[in-house]
Each structure stands twice: as C-alpha cells, then as structure tokens.
Amino acid sequence: MTPPSPSSSTPKTDLESAPLSSSSLKNTTLTSLSWSSLSFSVGTKTILSPSTGLLRPGELLAIMGPSGSGKTTLLSTLSRRTPPSSSSSPSPILLNGHPLPLSTFQSVTRFVEQTDSLIGALTVREALDFASKLSTASLTPKERRQRVEGLLESFGLVEQGDIVVGTVTNRGISGGQKRRLGVAKELITGPRVVFLDEVTSGVDARGGWEVVSYLRKIARRDNLIIVASIHQPSTATFNLFDKLLLLSEGKTHYFGSVDGLAEYYETQLGMMMPVHVNPAEWLLEQVNIDYAEDKELARGRLEEMQMGWERSELKRQLDGDVAAVAAAAEKGDNKFVLGDNETEDKKPGMARVVMALVHRSFIKSYRDVVAYGIRLAMYTGLAIMMGTVWLRLPATQDSIIPFTNSIFYGSAFLSFMAVAYCPAYLEDYNQYAKEKRNGLYGATAMMLSNFLVGTPYLFLISVVFSVISYWLSNFQPTAKAFFTWVFWLFLDLLAAEGLVVFMTSLFPSFVVSLALVAFANGLWMSVDGFMVPPGTLNVFWKYVFHYWDYQKYVFENMMINEFSERVYSCAETADGCQCMWQTDLADQCLIRGQGVLDQYGYKPGYMGKDVGIMMAIIAGYRVAGWLVLKLKN
Ligand SMILES: Nc1ncnc2c1ncn2[C@@H]1O[C@H](COP(=O)(O)OP(=O)(O)OP(=O)(O)O)[C@@H](O)[C@H]1O
C-alpha cells in the first residue's frame, strides 16, 4: 500500500484512447490532474485564494480545513461544477497538462455528493445496474454484469448484492455500506478522477475508515485519482490518504504528502507535531481561529503560517512541477482531446434512458410503500368511508342534494388529497437533481418517465375508488355511467398529480410545496361551480379562474353523468305531491334530473370538448413542470 512516487515526467499516454466502454475500469491514459491560480470570489469577497496542486494516478488527496474554510468551494471548482473566478477560459484545471472542454472533462471525472442519491427500494446490485444503464450504452449485457459484479467485489458488497438499500419498512444495508455503494455507483462509468464531498459523512469512524480504505485500494488498482473533502478523520483514516491540502479561510496552508507533514511543520514553521495525538485534529486546531480567545493574536499567527507555506521549498517545487506538466503538454507530445462523437456515442439515447427510469420507478413503486402503496390505501379508505356515509341513496328528491355533495366530495376532495404525492415526488425530484448534476439525464426524460409510471397507478386508484364507492352510494346504476365516472375521476387525478409535479418542481421543499398545492386546490374547489353556481359566481373569479379550473370540468361532467338521464321521485304527502324541483314530469310526481342541472347551467353534449380542455390542462401542468426543470439548468 505504498503510494507511487509522484513524478513530473512528461505524460506519455493519450486520453483519446481511453477505453471507457471496456469492461476494465483501469486508467491507462490519464497521467496527471493539476491546477494553478484556481480561485473563487463572490463580489469582492474572496472565498478561495489562488490554489495550486498536482496529483498523479493512484493518489488520494484529502482536502481538510475548519468549517467554512472553503473545502466545498474548492471541490466544486476543481470538479468544474462551479466556474472559477479567475480566467475561466482556458480552464486552470488540467488533465495531462491540457485544459479540456467541459464535456470531455466531465466524461472522465465523477462527483460523489455528500448525501447519496440512492433509491432505497432497489437492491445494491440493481442500484449499480441502473446507474450503468443510465450512464452508458456501450456495454454488452455481459460486460455490464461483469462491471457490476466487479464493483460489488471491489467495495466489499457482494454479500449485500440482493439486499435492498433501505426503505421505511425495510432497514436495508448499513450507513457505511450505503456510502460505499454511493461511491461504487459513480465508478460504474470508469472515470479517471473521482471527487468526493465529505467522504465520511453520515458514517462512524469505523465506517469512514472502511470507505477510504476501499477507495485507496481502487485508486491503487485502477490508477485513479481521488480527491475527497473530509471533516475530521480518525488517525487511521487520515493515514490512508497520500496527500493533504490544508485550507483555512480559503487559503492553502499545505499541499503535499501526508508522510511529509511532520517534517514540514518542524523545519518550515518550527512546530512539533505531537506523536500521540490525532494529526488531523492537531492540524485543524492550528488553523482554526474561530474559538481563539485573542482573535488578533490568532489571526497574526495564522497569517504567519500561511506565509510560511507561500515561502516554502515545497510550494516552490509544486509550482515548478505544475508548470512542467503544462509545458510538456504545450510542446504537443500528446494528441489529447476525447472526440465529441466518441463521448456522445457512449451516452444512452432518450428511449433507453426513459425505459431505464420507468423500470427503476416501477420497482420503487411496488417495493416502497411511500411511493404509491400509502396513497392507494388512503384512497381505498376514503372510498369505503364515502360509500358508507352516502349509503344506498334511493332515487328520490331527498337524495339529490346528498348526491350533489357526494359528487363534489368525490371530485374535489380526491384531487385535494393529491398533496399526499408531494413527499414521493420530492424524493424523485432530489434524485433527478443529483443525477442531472452528474450529467445522466435531463428534464424531458424525467417528465416522461414520471408520467409513464404514475399514470397506470392513477388509473388503478380511480378504478378501486369507484368500484367501492360508486355502487355503495347507488349513483346512476348503468355500466356506461360507471365507466364515465371512472374516466372523469382518472382525468381528475391526472390533473391533480400534474399540479403537484409543477408546484414541487418550482419549490422543491416539502412544507412549501404542500402549502402551495393545498392552497391551489382550495382555490380550485371554491370556484369549480359547486360552492357558488357558475351563474352566480362573480365575474372576477369566473373569468380569471373558473374556466381553467380542472375541477370545474370534473364536477360538471360527473353531475351530468348522474342527473342528465335519471328521474327522481318527489315526496308524497297527505296534500298530494311536493316536488323540490319543478320539471316537465311534475304531474307524474317526478323530477327530471336535467332540472337539477339547469340550476347550474349544465347541459349534456359537450363531453368531447370538456375532455379536450381537461387534457390541455393536464398537458399544461406537465409542460409547466418540464419548463421549470429546464430553466433550473
Ligand atoms: N456562493 C456563495 N456566496 C457567498 N458566500 C459563499 C458562497 N459559497 C461559499 N460561501 C462562503 O464561503 C465560505 C466557505 O464555504 P464552503 O462551503 O466552501 O466551506 P466548507 O469548508 O466546505 O465548510 P463546511 O465544512 O462547514 O461545509 C463560507 O463562509 C461560505 O459561507
């Protein structure tokens, strides 16, 4: 496990021949990652002062520093997720001494976020398989399997291969194993450089050590460069790193080998590193002035240490090595850049991505009770409740108001309850956002797959709800009327889900999206025509909101479905017949259902037009959601 000695020799290999599609993940082409004058400012505030570094294949770099010292900023600019403030063209970040175009750079590097983007319902093996399907199309099924099995083995996850990651009802694998899986997922494309934010976050000391030792093993075996920010590693974990970049207030205090730290501090700064103390803790103490009693004194000392680094022989050597790498590349020894076609060819097309996403969401939908199970149970409960409250209503005038109320409840309250979809969509959105940042797929694939997976479930919910409540309540008992009811309920739920998708994409926060969807549905409920009949509704609400209220079309058509072809008996009293609605059937002591509809101004015969409007509203919500995701690029 001895680190290979870094050398400043001229890179001899060529990234162009990087065999990304081969089953081997070994790097044979990248010889260095270097950067100089890499800085980042916001306005006049410097967050990262010019940083320089050089890494060779097989090396692990720890970026360490007190909270707020700029670790995340450095990692983010180094991985080119955030453009640096200094001359961003050409990039100050070089691979084999070359500033590669962003797309080429991204095709040979990966970023592992602090929080894993893992789907709890998938097994460990499936998580890797889907990561592979979403990121590369150039593997045969056999190569894909080999790569997945290879990574399971490399990260010590073979025994956990068929265990789910973990859901609300299934505990799944441990935190450390999750972190290892999160890293393995990013290695599936065979990157040459891996960036990891807070590599040991969410795991205990032992778990952290395990993650880093697996990383070290893989870096050595496959010649990868690994850059990880880390908060406060244990001594054992710290010693697994080859190099350290120590930051304080955005400035570099040390860049070099972990082994050479004690000597540097002693000879350059005259400070003895205690032997029996965790070196990481000791270093952080030296560069952290947040808790110093005498801030002035501590700041002076910090600046002295930082100047010590600037003046050091190590820094001079580093600058020389970085310059030599760039100079060698400039001589033109290497043909470098991965051809655009070559990288594009490896990405799966839209159809493949959508298929993989649909398959993945489908597995999630039946294994994870939060996705659809809870909602199905809730709607079933509501159906039983509704059917037994409005139980076996006879076709008499006394049932007309309960029928009307039930139709409103069945349409409006059910769509209101789509708020229950907010948490599940938020989970999908966060997954999408992470995978988008890693360049896996975009807004179109996300929207299409979400719609394709959700639609059959909404249909199932509509059927289950209607089968129970429709017949229990005794709505118009014909097959045609039943299926029309199911159809409108289905459209209702599709529109309501579209609203959730749009709102939650716009404000991806549980509390905010929940409040906004509830507010919007509250508004649609009050102007749909039930509370205030359309003829009475004041012009502002009528013309600004009523006509594009999806609940209006559902309520109106469900009302027409119940009343347009049905007849209700009036009350027989001692004085004769008393009809609450006067229609042409009054002399037979009956009420023609159309009489009820007349008070709302509803007429049958416009279903085709209403279905068209409803579909436009459903599509409108989806397109609005897609636009939001697109614009958030
Ligand atoms: N876009 C930004 N605008 C303003 N300030 C920023 C921005 N990005 C970072 N900062 C500030 O720069 C400093 C460094 O932030 P950064 O997140 O890089 O530190 P860190 O070392 O990763 O901190 P921690 O260990 O607490 O996560 C912080 O004070 C932060 O508030």
Per residue in 21-42, pLDDT tens? 333 578 888 899 999 989 999 8
Query: For residues 596, 599, 605 and 611, what is the CA-based torsion angle, rounded to 10 degrees?
Result: -100
Per residue in 533-550, pLDDT tens? 999 999 999 999 999 999
Atom number of ligand 1 nearest to Cα 231 = 25
Q: Between helices 550-563 and 607-631, what is the axis angle to 10°?
A: 160
Q: Is 73 in the pocket of ligand 1 (CB under 6 A)?
A: yes
Q: How far is the CA of 175 from the centre of ligand 1 (A)?
A: 26
pTM of the model: 0.81
Residue 8: the pLDDT is 37
Q: How far is the CA of 74 from the centre of ligand 1 (A)?
A: 10
Dist. CA 223–CA 4, nearest whole Å: 10
SS (H, E, C) 531-584: CCCCCCCCHHHHHHCHHHCHHHHHHHHHHHHHHCCCEEECEEECCEEECCCCCC
DSSP 197: S
Number of Cβ atoms within 10 Å of the Cβ of 313:
10
Q: What is the DSSP string of 229-243?
A: E-SS--HHHHTT-SE
Residue 190: the pLDDT is 84
Residue 333: the pLDDT is 59
CATH 3.40.50.300 residue window(s) in the chain: 34-108+192-344
Q: How far is the CA of 626 from the centre of ligand 1 (A)?
A: 31
Measured between alpha carbons, how far is residue 206 from residues 65, 176, 235, 534 in Å? 21, 8, 11, 67
Structural tokens at position 518: 């509830």
The answer as to CATH 3.40.50.300 being correct for domain 34-108+192-344 is yes
- Nearest-CA residue for ligand 1 atom 30 is 68
Q: For the complex shown, is ipTM > 0.85?
A: yes
Dist. CA 452–CA 365, nearest whole Å: 12
Q: Is 114 in the pocket of ligand 1 (CB under 6 A)?
A: no
Q: How far is the CA of 70 from the centre of ligand 1 (A)?
A: 5
Residue 204: the pLDDT is 84
Contact (Cβ atoms closer than 8 angstroms) between residue 492 and residue 465: no
Substitution candidate for ligand 1 out of 40, 69, 113 with most atoms within 8 A of CB: 69
For the chain, 633 residues long, the average pLDDT of each consecutive 10-residue run is 37 35 65 92 90 96 94 94 73 89 86 86 96 88 91 92 90 90 88 91 84 92 94 93 96 95 93 91 90 83 93 95 90 53 62 96 87 88 96 96 96 92 91 88 96 95 96 97 98 98 97 96 96 94 96 98 97 91 95 96 96 98 98 84
Q: How far is the CA of 576 from the centre of ligand 1 (A)?
A: 83
Q: Is 617 in the pocket of ligand 1 (CB under 6 A)?
A: no
Q: Is 66 in the pocket of ligand 1 (CB under 6 A)?
A: no
Per residue in 275-290, pLDDT tens? 889 999 999 999 988 8
Name, in order, each residue with C-beta under 8 angstroms of 341's C-beta and a sequence gap of 6 or more. Answer: none
Question: 201 — phi, psi (to 5°)?
Answer: -65, 140
Question: 474 — phi, psi (to 5°)?
Answer: 70, 45
Per residue in 312-367, pLDDT tens? 999 999 999 999 998 888 887 554 444 333 343 468 999 999 999 999 999 998 88
Substitution candidate for ligand 1 out of 40, 67, 71 with most atoms within 8 A of CB: 71
